[in-house]
């Protein structure tokens, strides 16, 4: 059994906020979990070529823009899954920002940070 308190986990600055890595590859569960904050007013262009990700919003508000330019409201209770390594842009509300729970497969090792490529996409 694994029990962790959020205050005791590794925190990683990911470029537009803070990712607190709750469950990692070394835990052997086959996925990882992060409690992630997105700073108010930030715009993050992302694409994970090596990980699938599901994101569940628990606080704040934002907008997810998919590769077709379609906008999706992200607010508490909304989940989105990047099941095809989807490139996307996340725009956090200028006042509220966002707090989300992220599940990655394969799991994160723990110290990964977003790296921007020439097109401005963030990769793990």
pLDDT, position 15? 86
pLDDT, position 78? 98
pLDDT, position 120? 42
pLDDT, position 115? 59
pLDDT, position 48? 86
**Listed residue (55, 100, 101) closest to 79, CA to CA:** 55
Question: Mind listing the pLDDT tens digit of every residue in the chain (124 residues)?
Answer: 999 999 999 899 988 999 999 999 999 999 999 999 999 999 999 998 888 999 999 999 999 999 999 999 999 999 999 999 999 999 999 999 999 999 999 999 877 766 545 444 444 4
Alpha carbons 3 and 114: distance in angstroms, whole number:
27
Beta-carbon neighbour count of residue 55 at 10 Å? 21
Identify whether the C-beta of residue 89 lies closer than 8 Å to the C-beta of residue 44: yes
pLDDT, position 119? 45
pLDDT, position 74? 98
The reply to whether CATH 2.30.42.10 applies to domain 10-108 is no
Alpha carbons 110 and 89: distance in angstroms, whole number:
23
């Amino acid at each position: 059994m694994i029990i962790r308190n959020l205050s005791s986990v590794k925190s990683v600055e990911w470029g537009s906020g803070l990712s607190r890595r709750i469950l990692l590859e070394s835990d052997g569960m086959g996925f990882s979990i992060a409690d992630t904050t997105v700073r108010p007013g930030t715009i993050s262009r992302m694409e994970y070529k090596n990980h699938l990700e599901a994101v569940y919003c628990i606080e704040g508000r934002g907008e997810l823009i998919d590769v077709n330019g379609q906008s999706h409201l992200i607010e508490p209770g909304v989940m989105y899954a990047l099941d095809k390594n989807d490139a996307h842009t996340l725009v956090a509300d200028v006042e509220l920002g966002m707090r989300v729970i992220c599940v990655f497969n394969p799991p994160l090792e723990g110290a990964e940070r977003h790296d921007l490529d020439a097109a401005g996409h963030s990769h793990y």
